[in-house]
Amino acid sequence: MSASAGHDHAATVLVVVDPTSSVANESPVRWSVDYLAETLEGAGVVVRRPSGRRRDRQPDSQQDSQPDSQPDSADVLIRVAGGNAGPAESFELSRPDGADGQVSVAGADARGLAYGVLELADRVRCAEDPVAELRSTEPESKQPATPVRSILRTFTSDVEDKPWFYDRDFWSEYLTELAVNRINRFQLAFGMQYNYGHHPATENYFCFPYPFLLDVPGFDVGVGNVPAEEREANLATLRYISDEAKRRGIHFQLGLWNHADDQGEGSAPLYPVSGITPDNHAAYCAAALDLLLRECPSIDGLTMRVHYEGGIPEPDHEAFWQTVMGAVAAVGRPIEIDMHAKGVDEALLDIARGTGCRVVVSAKYWAEHQGLPYHQTTIRERERATKEPGTGLMAITAHQRRFTRYGYGDFLREGSDVGLLFRIWPGTQKVLLWADPVLAAGYGRLGTIGGALGIEWCEPLSFKGRKNTGEPNGRDPYADPALRLDGQDWRKYRYSYRLWGRLLYDPDADPEQWRRFLRAEFGDAAEAVENALAPASRVLPLVTVVHGIGASNNGYWPEMYLNMPIAGGPNADHYRGDTASPPTFGGVSSFDPSMFYRVDEYAEDVVAGRRDGRYSPMEVADWLDRLAEEAEQNLAVARDKSARADDPEFRRVAIDVAAQAGLGRFFAGKFRAGVAYALHERTGDASHLGEAVAAYRAARDAWAGVAEVTTGAYRPDLTFGDLRSEHGHWADRLPAIEEDLADLERRFGQARTAEAAAEQGPPLLPAVERIRFDHTPPPPFARGEEVRIELTPSAAFDGTVVCHYRHLNQGEDFRTVDMSVDTNADRGGDGIGTYGTSVGGNYTDSDHALVYYFTVHHPAGDAWILPGLDQTLANQPYHVIRQRQE
């Protein structure tokens, strides 16, 4: 107890769990109460239970063994009981009769009640005076906005991942952190080291997971270099992890991403599997899965990659999955079957449905990257389905179901019995600290689009050491001994887990939920740290969306960008095959081509004196500079206010903020240079080349700054795979940038003349006032019902407005219609009418919701999108109307 409480005795908290409540006595609640007690005791507070004994202590006197449940016997009384009538996972904190010394926690179910108790524990562990913090508890009631809030951790390297896999202290702390921050699902993924058919295997530990875990009776299947004792330890460890997740109220999902015993031609696995033949492959996998689910009763679900990259060639994979999924049905307890969405068709859905299990399809959010919180308005042209039937290994995935690769595809059907979960892949941000409450809240609002279940986030450092690039102690990314994390690399990202969990649970959460953590970590610098990390963390998601150079996380790593040349030069060959041809900077498509111009497209429109409404590379450059400026200014404030600026925790943040701000400056300069070069190509004006050189020099200097701040801090080779784009250091990337800049400088020197050297500047569109339009989205509609869409300008407007609409199905194209003006809606003779159009009942007679947005075209040539992106970049730039459930 603090001195301010006016007591001479040690501070005491009495925790009373309602013995009559079945909810309050479930395992997650009992665990959460124990964790609260441990946290209080760690802060020097005495904890008592209704028995009169201190926690885990035998009575040492008659007085100790007497009932002790009266409020005046403790400084704080905490009562824990079920009884909250809210939805699943909701909880309520209250103070009976307004008493400062009493806190009641109620929950709708065990998980919700545990969250309420853990909320108190988190306040205690972050507080200077835990008892005063508890006494000041204000009443509040919380319920989840996002049903599924998941973290994926993957085993990809025997060298780097065995230490944490076997470390039970790690699991205890890690899973506790997830539970405290309301992560309700955890996937431990095996077999993501390789994509079958693309990469021959060497390091294949757990790649074909069953023989690493089980000796299956009736099958003479084994794996070399894994003795029986190690196999048994692996199974015991998996059982422990799943049990500990369950104990904390976390749904445990086992990821089985590979079912090929042999990774194909050219493979030389370190752990060769024997005993599998084409005749027994499916039967063995089914028997092994049946045994595994029985040996690990806390496994709640399975995530499986069911297209060819999981090792089962198309189109003959249906029989295999029929056999394997049949084993799930035979186990006799509820198991979730989660199929990675790529290539999933109705036949696979029917096989999964036939098990009687809950069926989920997990789709990528922004290809294999982390973008902005909204979902792609349209997918890239290369992701569209092909009409011709496919043959061979990828017959379905690469053809009729191609559009399922990098988004929600056509899976968001109204009333579907199949759930959809989004997975944020680790292509964008693998090392640098991501922590932005604004974007996290945006994901919390938009991760349930069209009734989707929520989000699974591939945690930082996912794929570290992938494809046999692991090193001893290599999962720790730091070279500087003072910054190293001693095998606890995940602790660097504790703030990230907090934002993901709590803002997916409640996008409108009180900022105190993360600010108390920052104050405990950074003291007086906490506010400035938050304000520096937030804009810095917005840089790479924005770059990823706009510069969609490669959908695969293997080939494109924006955080450590393998430079795409502006005019043709180093690395152009690397991106060939996953972007436009020829592979130059100006031709790169956005991951959302409906919202963002390509550089070359924008230059074409500038020369023609028009805009089509999409966001230009020049606007994006301005956004990036603004974000970098905010990050840099607040980092300077944080340095001034920090009393611990030399502490490793602060240094890690400062390095990562500076690096991300520098990346923002680099891409801002690169976009400006790309536009200027594209204008030169189209006009022959050498002054544009001069502008390109100046902008590119600024970009080069920014990258050099990133290389400088990260050199010595981070390992000289951060390995996430064996491609050029999957490993290295920021300093390694600088020579290609400088070579590309030198190429532009040579071109400028050759093209410059006395006349062309004059500063002419790029052609500019006339400046116009972009007036506001008022629009209220229609209410949910009945299937087959006409939907009327209207919007009204705030002032007289003689331009045109186009409505773009489609079903909530990324396999379809948008339809466009020029909206007509209703002159009868003229308000008071001021010349302002209402623009309107209708979507006919024949179009709404579908099993999908509607998506629509507007493009406003000004007579002077300007155009803009409504609703578009706001200043935060965290909103949805289009409208979605759901169907009305009758």
Domain with CATH 2.60.40.10 in the chain: 773-881
DSSP structural state of residue 361: E
CA distance 638 to 669: 26
- Tallying the residues shown for the chain, one arrives at 886
Mean pLDDT of 593-602: 97
CATH architecture label of 3-142: 2-Layer Sandwich (3.30)
Q: What pLDDT shows up at residue 53? A: 42
| E strand intervals along 379-439 | 418-424
Round to whole Å and give the CA distance between 196 and 174: 31
For residues 281-306, average pLDDT = 98
pLDDT mean over 46-74 = 53
Q: At 236, which helix (H) or strand (E)? A: helix 228-247
Choice among 214-228, 445-459, 765-779 with the minimum mean pLDDT: 765-779
Contact 102, 69 (CB under 8 A): no
Q: Tell me the two tokens of residue 326.
A: 């049949």
Range in 531-535, 620-624, 822-826 the model is least confident about: 822-826
Residue 1 in this model has a pLDDT that exceeds 60: no
Indicate the pLDDT class of residue 99, thresholds 50, 70 and 90.
Answer: confident
Give 848's contacts (C-beta < 8 A, 6+ positions apart).
410, 412, 413, 414, 450, 807, 808, 809
* Residue 847 CB-density burial (10 A; 0-12 exposed, 13-18 middle, 19+ buried): middle
* pLDDT interval class at 389 (50, 70, 90): confident
Quick one: pLDDT at residue 381?
87
pLDDT at site 56:
41
pLDDT digits (tens, 9 = 90+) for 776-801: 999 999 999 999 999 999 999 999 99
In a 13 Å sphere around the CA of 130, the CA atoms on its Cβ side amount to 25
Question: Is pLDDT above 70 for 52?
Answer: no
Q: Which amino acid is at 13?
A: V
DSSP letters for 300-325: -EEEE--SGGGT--SSTHHHHHHHHH
Q: Sheet containing 773-774: which strands, arranged edge to edge?
A: 773-774, 787-793, 834-839, 820-822
Which residues make Cβ contacts (< 8 Å) with residue 780, sequence separation at least 6? Answer: 881, 882, 883, 884, 885
The answer to whether 762 and 692 are in contact (CB under 8 A) is no
Q: Which of 454-468, 536-550, 562-576 has the lowest mean pLDDT?
A: 562-576
Sheet holding 102-107, edge to edge: 46-48, 12-17, 76-82, 102-107, 91-94, 140-142
As a whole number, mean pLDDT of residues 846-875 equals 97
pLDDT at 336 over 80: yes
Angle among Cα 240, 245, 248 to the nearest 5 degrees reads: 125
| 540: nearest Cα among 407, 699, 371 | 371
Asked if residue 264 has pLDDT above 60, the reply is: yes
pLDDT digits (tens, 9 = 90+) for 705-763: 999 999 999 999 999 999 999 999 999 999 999 999 999 999 998 887 544 444 555 55
Give residue 221's pLDDT. 97
What percent of the chain shows pLDDT beyond 70?
94
Query: Comparing 53 with 614, which gets the higher pLDDT?
Result: 614
Alpha helices by DSSP H, 382-525: 437-446, 494-505, 512-522
Highest mean pLDDT among 55-59, 71-75, 288-292: 288-292
Choice between 394 and 740, residue whose per-residue pLDDT is larger:
740
3-state secondary structure of 193: coil
Predicted confidence band at 764 (pLDDT cuts at 50, 70, 90)? low
CATH architecture of 148-461+491-509: Alpha-Beta Barrel (3.20)
Q: Which band of pLDDT confidence, cut at 50, 70 and 90, is reported for residue 96?
A: confident
Alpha-carbon distance of 385 to 346, in angstroms, equals: 16
Answer whether CATH 2.60.120.1440 is correct for domain 773-881: no
List Cβ neighbours of 393 (8 Å cut-off, separation of 6 or more). 197, 308, 313, 314
Entry pTM: 0.95
Percentage, residues of the chain above pLDDT 90: 83
Which residues in the chain are classed under CATH 3.20.20.70?
Answer: 148-461+491-509
pLDDT band at residue 153 under the 50/70/90 scheme: very high
Q: Residues 332-357: what's their mean pLDDT? A: 96
Cα Rg of the chain, angstroms: 29
pLDDT at 760: 53
Q: Are 124 and 134 in contact (CB under 8 A)?
A: yes
> Going by C-beta distance under 8 Å and a sequence separation of 6 or more, which residues neighbour residue 745?
693
**Residue whose pair of structure tokens reads 């993501």 in the numeric block:** 192
Q: What is the pLDDT of residue 73?
A: 74
Task: Choose the weakest-confidence range: 59-68, 604-613, 672-681.
Answer: 59-68
Q: How many Cα atoms are found within 13 Å in the side-chain-facing hemisphere of 288?
A: 23
By three-state DSSP, how is residue 362 classified? Answer: strand
Backbone angles phi, psi at 301, to 5 degrees: -160, 165
pLDDT for res 582: 74
In this prediction, residue 61 carries a pLDDT of 34
Tens-place pLDDT, residues 639-662 = 999 988 899 999 999 999 999 999
Q: Count other Cβ atoms within 10 Å, centred on residue 519.
A: 19
**Which of 4-13, 420-429, 588-597, 612-621 is least confident?**
4-13
Residue 263 reports pLDDT greater than 90:
no
- Whether the predicted pLDDT of 255 surpasses 50: yes
| pLDDT at 178 > cutoff 90 | yes
pLDDT of residue 267: 85
Please give the C-alpha separations between residue 20 and each of 24, 90, 103, in angstroms, as whole numbers.
8, 20, 19
Tokens representing 827 are: 């308000």
Strands (DSSP E) found in 656-717: none
- Please name the residues in contact with 7: beta carbons below 8 A apart, sequence gap of 6 or more: 1, 75
| Mean pLDDT score across all residues of the chain | 92
User: Under a CB-based contact definition with an 8 Å cutoff, are residues 761 and 745 in contact?
Assistant: no
Residues linked to residue 805 through DSSP beta bridges, in sequence order: 815, 852
In which band, very low, low, confident or very high, does the pLDDT at 90 lie, cut at 50, 70 and 90? very high
Whose CA is closest to 114, among 175, 174, 51, 182?
182
**Which tokens is 829 given?**
């003779």
The whole-angstrom separation of Cα 442 and Cα 429 is 17
Token digits of residue 769:
């006032």
Q: For residues 282 and 289, what is the distance between their CA atoms, to the nearest angstrom? A: 11
- Residue bearing tokens 């920014």: 702
Q: Which part of the chain has CATH 3.30.379.10? A: 3-142
Convert the pLDDT of each residue in 485-524 to its tens digit: 988 999 999 999 999 999 999 999 999 999 999 999 999 9
Which tokens sit at 746?
A: 């040579």
Q: Residue 581: what pLDDT?
A: 73
pLDDT tens digit string along 188-223? 999 999 888 787 889 999 999 999 999 999 999 999
Please compute, for residue 177, the number of CA atoms within 13 A of its CA located in the half-sphere on the CB side.
Answer: 19
pLDDT band at 3 (very low <50, low <70, confident <90, very high): very low
* Choice among 152-156, 753-757, 859-863 with the minimum mean pLDDT: 753-757
**What is the C-alpha to C-alpha distance for residues 522 and 637, in angstroms, rounded to an integer?**
13
The DSSP H or E segment spanning 365 is none
Q: Are 110 and 249 in contact (CB under 8 A)?
A: yes
- pLDDT score of 8: 54
**Residue 31 corresponds to which tokens in the numbers above?**
């665990």
CA-to-CA distance for 760 and 689, rounded, in angstroms? 11
Res. 575 pLDDT band, cuts 50 70 90: confident
pLDDT of residue 756: 46
Higher pLDDT, 403 or 867: 867
